[in-house]
Chain A
Amino acid sequence: MKRISIEARNNWQTAVENLGFGFHTTDIPYWDETAYYSFEMEEIVNIEKASAELWTMCLTAVQHVIDNSLYKSFAIPQWMIPYIERTWNEDHPSVYGRFDLCCKDGQIKLLEFNADTPTSLFEAGIVQWFWLKDFDNDKDQFNSIHEKLITYWKYVKAYLHPGTLHFACIKESLEDLTNTEYLRDCALQAGIDTTLIFIDDIGWDEERKEFLDMEDEPMKNIFKLYPWEWLLGDDFGQNILQDSNQALWIEPAWKMILSNKAILPILWRLFPDHPYLLPAYFEPGQLTSYVKKPILSREGANINLIRNRNLVQHTEGVYGKEGYIFQQLFELPQFDGAYPVVGSWIIGQEPAGIGIREGGTLITNNSSRFVPHLIQR
């Protein structure tokens, strides 16, 4: 894995905007093509193998949490448990997830799993692919995200209730809208009837006990780019259990177990000393260099990074009231002052590609940049 500095395309803003990528820059650059990461094929095969194995381990961990009723560690409300277990036992399909990996010195370590509302899908599946076409059309990329999404939506179609699949996200974020519309685009290409609705426009009919769209049509299939823990905390949350249509939600509720960082100590307990895992616990114990993470947090918020018992980095945020986990420190590699995290996508049940985000510190946060990659033959 190497970081190569290059000149950005002269017209790169226009090029990415023509793809529908409108959030390439905010007050700071987000899409950064002044560099790319170069991988050997062997490294890519190793990432693919690790991702497939981690996914299998995660499914084992979900079953373990359910069998042993470990929900308290996840701060999952009691009233939600029967529904979570139903979605698991009925095999409600998961479309996607993103493992955040640290790849360093030939090792691959799982930092966390974004299992419920992973973003940067559009950048990884589309924008970096068209960058490669312009930059070096002869090179390849670990990227079958687009094809696998279409293929998997065709598979999911059999699970849907008759009718429309609604795609919901918040209004105020172009990033969320783009990711949601990209997923809807792939679903359309899979032959699914779809509609976009903003999450706060969803209606609830108290008499008929059903969710309604903007035309007062019952919503029976709902993709939401909105975390389960926020859904449950909202006024409508408990209506999900009363829903007379028993709408199929994507991602399914059982993903609440995997999107929670409490899964990291569970994985370590189930697979001790596994080469893809870092020691992780609910208490710091014997760890002297570790990362303290809230079990529910986003964008690198509320993180403490401890090296040899000394706090070396800390981020602020609004998370942490549900509890923390402690994961052994495995520092990101550094390339010219940049610290890359490899986001490895699972689409359906299979590894599908990677997207790399790099920041200027050991903690990847909302100011990190997306940098494309290629495979050096």
Chain B
Amino acid sequence: MKKSKYVELVLITAALASCNQSSKEWEGGGGGSKTYLRSDTTAPYTQARHHGGIGTALLWYYAFRPFGNFSNGNYQRAGYYSNALNRSSNIGRNGFKGAVSRGGFGRGSYSVSS
């Protein structure tokens, strides 16, 4: 009813097509081998942690995301950040990172499904 003949998805199919692939068993905590990471050379290594996740979302969870800012129209990378790491291993003595706090939203980290 009132549906057009042509429905196109420009983003979601490609982005999520791999989400149903089975993911490798996490071995970073508990009884498996432990993984120690840091995202800044001024920071100490600590054990990476894992709170669950699925498919591609799991990969994104461990991703090291670029940090930076724009100055005079140019992007300057300041470093990287990963949510799988402790704060101490993300920031270290990096003053640029330290100005911004993250993780203040998302405490209710289960599906909103409604």
Contact = CB atoms under 8 A, between A and B. Distances in A.
Given A174-B57, A199-B106, A204 B7 contact: no
Interface string B44-65: 0000000111110100110001
A235 B52 CA distance: 22
A299 interface: yes
Interface residues of A, number: 71
A189 interface: yes
A168 B65 CA distance: 15
Given A118-B114, A174-B57, A215 B105 contact: no
Contacts of B112: 117, 119, 169-170, 173, 176, 225-227, 298
A280 to B, nearest CB: 19
A200 B103 contact: yes
A176 B51 CA distance: 16
Given A146-B7, A204-B101, A227-B112, A174 B106 contact: no
Nearest to B61: A171
Given A44-B1, A122-B12, A174-B57, 15 more contacts: A20-B13, A22-B19, A114-B114, A119-B111, A143-B1, A144-B1, A170-B106, A170-B110, A181-B11, A203-B101, A204-B102, A204-B104, A216-B67, A226-B106, A366-B113
Given A129-B3, A234-B107, A299-B113, A174 B54 contact: yes
Contacts of B103: 200-201, 235
Given A141-B1, A141-B3, A200-B83, A236 B104 contact: yes
Interface string A111-130: 00010011100100010011
B68 interface: yes
Contacts of B110: 170, 172-173
Contacts of B10: 185, 188-189
Nearest to A98: B114
Contacts of A7: none
A17 interface: yes
Given A129-B3, A200-B109, A216-B100, A22 B55 contact: yes
Contact of A230 (B54, B57, B108): B108
Interface residues of B, number: 51
Given A18-B13, A117-B114, A176-B112, A234 B105 contact: yes
Given A19-B9, A22-B16, A22-B20, A234 B104 contact: yes
A36 to B, nearest CB: 15
B74 interface: no
Instruction: Give the 7 A-B CB pairs with smallest separation, nearest first.
Output: A200-B106, A236-B104, A22-B19, A173-B111, A20-B16, A22-B20, A235-B104
A177 interface: yes
A59 interface: no
B83 to A, nearest CB: 6
18 contacts: A19-B12, A19-B13, A20-B16, A23-B19, A171-B109, A172-B52, A173-B110, A174-B19, A177-B16, A177-B19, A178-B19, A204-B101, A205-B99, A217-B69, A217-B70, A230-B108, A233-B107, A239-B104
